[in-house]
């Protein structure tokens, strides 16, 4: 490892989203926006957080792990959970102008918050910067925010990491592309999205939950990260939303030696053979 | 007619059915132009209506950010107000970055697009299936161009063979700015239909107990693709690429046969828009029965061989 890399601190920002619980019934409200009256830390964001904590534990240099969430006031719960799991500090960007933000608006706002959060680092030593995200949000599921954020920040992008490690001032990432498994190296700063194949996220233990009480969460409005409501205008709009009629349970039989035959008969009747 | 630019992040030998669907969709909206980082795509693109094809000066493949430069240049050259790509990770990455550069609206994972590109990007209606198939939505871009990724198996491909189109190389070459590929391993190509594109999917879970043999036989008999739950892929019984669900692939086949899978919400997210669902599970309380059109409470190692026997009997 290069000497400079060993000495320079690393600042990792993990994006964590507060989303409606995937296990419960989720709703799009009358205004065609997600019902965000309740929520949890997106489970898919536990994987990048775990990756950041593992990098911190393995590194021979100071590593600071910050969690950053964008969302309504309730979203501070996801920042708190990230602190309990092991992040050092947290940031929460919240503003009425962000309600219903699409990918473009979200990535503009995140860019402002990421730059602001990186700027809160130690003034004497310019830390090396890494942004980790989940592979998708559990609600919008576009998987496009990491790419738009990287483009806006003007940094390298690596998506769908199934493994990530730090090498000097670069990350080495295993990722799955359409028809191949790739190993790539990206010089920092970079944005890397991490999949659920990458690790087994830890649970917060009692000690960590107590320790989290002493950690800080900084809340910002848009103006505090240098943005106006106009900057975060969406470039798409949802014009209609309707619940899909739930699937009805069909006939269920118990195998008495002929169930396989009866499946085939059913398929023939439904004309799917 | 207005140009509709179709982006293919890779072109191997011949177009996949998802890629053919995209060309069909593009032609329904305007005049299909193709841009790809692939080398020599001409033969694969020999279809009626495909007259304009752009590549770089050299082959450019993901995750090379030069793909975004190529796309941006092709949009300028074609004057396209609509850009389409498949909903794969590499394609979404490139198109999402393109949308930033064009200050365009981005809509991912569409299952349909209606309208006429010559009436402008903002006039198109884009249909989606969201919240794990729980809702259908319509959306529009409010600021063009419209950049849209499309889920495979959403449009009926209808192309007729034509002359190999002329290919124009744009002044963009591969770069390695910031991201260097240290190694590549081809994923094993299967003889079976691609999972996202297959008409029939047979899927196995923890109940397969390490033995996908019976399911493979069934897949051969039905011309099906093989899917799996995360429990089965995590156990290493089958490649991760077979995982269906929230963090795997989403499939909407005509038939999804689920064997030894409980039907957790993350699994359902990837398969509940299938036309017909058949489930085999030995636990009568398994949640998969709530969404199955036909369910069998039984041991899959007995029921699948019965199916095979009946299928073979019918063939003779
Ligand atoms: C962030 C996250 C993402 C996830 N993403 C996915 C995803 O994309 N896809 C996915 O599938 N899961 C996903 N999961 C996992 C999901 O929650 C379930 O754990 C998983 O789907 C269970 O797989 P299974 O049904 O095969 O196993 P189990 O739930 O253990 O069910 C096995 C079933 O097999 C039946 N069975 C056993 N033996 C037999 C037999 N001989 N004959 C007939 N039936 C038998 C049992 O009755 C049981 O119902 C995800 C989880 C998390 C936390």
- Note the ipTM here: 0.95
Q: Supply φ then ψ for residue A50, to 5 degrees.
A: -60, -40
Cβ atoms within 10 Å of A98's Cβ, excluding its own: 21
Q: What is the mean pLDDT of residues A57-85?
A: 97
Contact B261, B251 (CB under 8 A): no
Percentages helix, strand, coil for chain B (3-state, rounded to 5) are 30, 30, 40
B240 at interface of A, judged by CB pairs closer than 8 A: yes
Contact B268, B291 (CB under 8 A): yes
Q: Which residues of A touch B304 (CB under 8 A)?
A: 260
Would you tell me which residues 94-153 of chain A have a C-beta closer than 8 angstroms to some C-beta of chain B?
A: 102-104, 107, 135-136, 138-139, 141-148, 150-152
- For ligand 1, atom 28, the nearest C-alpha belongs to B262
Q: Per-residue b/e over A29-50, b at no fewer than 16 CB within 10 Å?
A: eeebebebeebbbbbbbbbbbb
Give the residue on B whose Cα is nearest the Cα of A185.
B180
Q: What is the pLDDT of residue A2?
A: 47
Q: What are the residues facing B107 on neighbouring strands? A: B148
Would you tell me which residues 18-47 of chain B have a C-beta closer than 8 angstroms to some C-beta of chain A?
A: none
Name the CATH architecture for the domain at A10-242.
3-Layer(aba) Sandwich (3.40)
State whether the beta carbon of B235 lies less than 6 angstroms from ligand 1.
no
Structure tokens belonging to residue A143: 């998987």
A229: Cα separation from own chain's centroid: 23
State whether the beta carbon of B205 lies less than 6 angstroms from ligand 1.
yes
Contact A82, A41 (CB under 8 A): yes
Domains within chain B, CATH numbers bracketed: 3-169 (3.40.50.620), 195-315 (3.40.50.1220)
Task: Compare CB distances from B184 to A180, A249, A250 and report the shortest one's residue.
Answer: A180
A216 at interface of B, judged by CB pairs closer than 8 A: no
Q: What are the residues facing B168 on neighbouring strands? A: B54
CA of B281 from ligand 1 middle (Å) equals: 11
Torsion over CA of B287, B289, B290 and B291, rounded to 10 degrees?
110
Q: Is the alpha carbon torsion for B282, B283, B289, B294 positive or negative?
A: positive
A92 vs A70: CA distance, rounded Å? 6
Q: What is the mean pLDDT of residues A224-248?
A: 96
Q: What is the pTM of this model?
A: 0.95
The minimum CA-CA distance between A210 and chain B, rounded to whole Å, is 32
A142 prior amide bond cis, ω within 30 = no
Would you tell me which residues 223-252 of chain A have a C-beta closer than 8 angstroms to some C-beta of chain B?
A: 234-244, 247, 249-252
Q: Is the alpha carbon torsion for A159, A163, A166, A170 positive or negative?
A: negative
Q: What is the mean pLDDT of residues A215-223?
A: 98
Q: What is the pLDDT of residue A6?
A: 61
- For ligand 1, atom 30, the nearest C-alpha belongs to B206
CA of A123 from ligand 1 middle (Å) equals: 49
The minimum CA-CA distance between A100 and chain B, rounded to whole Å, is 13
Q: Is residue A183 over pLDDT 60?
A: yes
Q: Which residues of A touch B254 (CB under 8 A)?
A: 272
The two counts, helices (H) then strands (E), for chain A are: 7, 13
A24 at interface of B, judged by CB pairs closer than 8 A: no
pLDDT by position in tens, chain B (length 316): 799 999 999 998 899 989 999 999 999 999 999 999 999 999 999 999 998 999 999 999 999 999 999 999 999 999 999 999 999 999 999 999 999 999 999 999 999 999 999 999 999 999 999 999 999 999 999 988 999 999 988 899 999 999 999 999 999 999 977 899 999 998 887 889 999 989 999 999 999 999 999 999 999 999 999 999 999 999 999 999 999 999 999 999 999 999 999 999 999 999 999 999 999 999 999 999 999 999 999 999 999 999 999 999 999 8
Of A175, A194, A235, whose CA–CA distance to B90 is shortest? A175
């Amino acid at each position: 490892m290069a000497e400079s890399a060993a000495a320079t601190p690393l600042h990792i920002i993990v994006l964590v989203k507060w989303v409606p619980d995937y296990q419960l019934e989720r709703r799009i409200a009358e205004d065609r926006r997600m019902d965000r009256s309740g929520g949890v830390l997106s489970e898919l964001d536990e994987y990048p957080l775990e990756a950041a904590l593992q990098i911190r534990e393995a590194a021979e240099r100071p590593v600071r792990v910050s969690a950053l969430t964008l969302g309504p006031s309730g979203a501070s719960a996801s920042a708190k959970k990230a602190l309990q799991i092991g992040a050092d500090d947290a940031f929460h960007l919240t503003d009425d102008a962000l309600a219903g933000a699409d990918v473009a608006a979200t990535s503009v706002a995140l860019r402002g918050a990421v730059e602001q959060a990186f700027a809160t680092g130690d003034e004497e030593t310019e830390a090396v910067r890494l942004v980790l995200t989940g592979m998708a949000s559990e609600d919008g599921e576009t998987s496009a925010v990491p790419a738009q954020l990287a483009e806006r920040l003007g940094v390298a992008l690596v998506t769908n990491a199934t493994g990530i490690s730090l090498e000097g001032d670069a990350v080495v990432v295993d990722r799955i592309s359409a028809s191949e498994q790739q190993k790539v190296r990206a010089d920092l700063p970079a944005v890397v999205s991490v999949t659920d194949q990458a690790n087994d996220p830890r649970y917060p233990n009692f000690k960590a939950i107590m320790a989290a009480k002493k950690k800080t969460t900084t809340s910002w409005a848009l103006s505090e990260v240098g943005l106006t409501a106009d900057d975060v205008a969406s470039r798409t709009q949802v014009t209609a939303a309707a619940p899909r009629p739930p699937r009805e349970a069909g006939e269920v039989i118990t195998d008495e030696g002929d169930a396989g035959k009866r499946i085939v008969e059913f398929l023939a009747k439904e004309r799917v053979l | 007619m207005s140009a509709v630019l179709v982006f293919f992040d890779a072109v191997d030998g011949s177009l996949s059915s998802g890629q053919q669907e995209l060309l069909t969709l593009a032609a329904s909206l305007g005049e299909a132009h193709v841009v790809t980082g692939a080398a020599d795509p001409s033969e694969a693109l020999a279809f009626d209506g495909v007259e304009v094809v752009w590549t770089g000066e050299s082959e450019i493949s993901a995750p090379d950010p030069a793909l975004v430069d190529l796309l941006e240049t092709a949009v300028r050259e074609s004057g396209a107000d609509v850009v389409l790509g498949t909903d794969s990770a590499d394609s979404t990455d490139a198109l999402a970055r393109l949308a930033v550069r064009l200050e365009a609206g981005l809509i991912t994972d569409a299952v349909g697009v209606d309208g006429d590109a010559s009436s402008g990007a903002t006039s198109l209606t884009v249909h989606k299936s969201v919240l794990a198939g729980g809702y259908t939505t319509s959306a529009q871009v409010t600021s063009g161009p419209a950049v849209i990724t499309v889920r495979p198996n959403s449009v009926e491909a209808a192309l007729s063979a034509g002359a190999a189109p002329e290919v124009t190389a744009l002044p963009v070459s591969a770069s390695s700015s910031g991201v260097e590929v240290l190694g590549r391993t081809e994923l094993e190509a299967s003889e079976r239909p691609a999972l996202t594109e297959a008409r029939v999917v047979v899927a196995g879970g923890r109940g397969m107990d390490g033995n996908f043999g019976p399911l493979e036989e069934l897949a051969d008999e039905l011309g099906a693709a093989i899917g799996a739950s995360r429990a089965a892929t995590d156990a290493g019984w089958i490649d991760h690429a077979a995982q269906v669900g929230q963090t795997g692939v989403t499939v909407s086949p005509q038939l999804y046969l689920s064997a030894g899978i409980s039907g957790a919400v993350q699994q359902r997210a990837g398969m509940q828009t299938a036309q017909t669902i058949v489930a085999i599970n030995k636990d009568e309380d398994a949640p998969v029965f709530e969404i199955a059109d036909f369910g069998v409470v039984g041991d899959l190692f007995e029921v699948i061989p019965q199916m095979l026997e009946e299928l073979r009997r019918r063939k003779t």
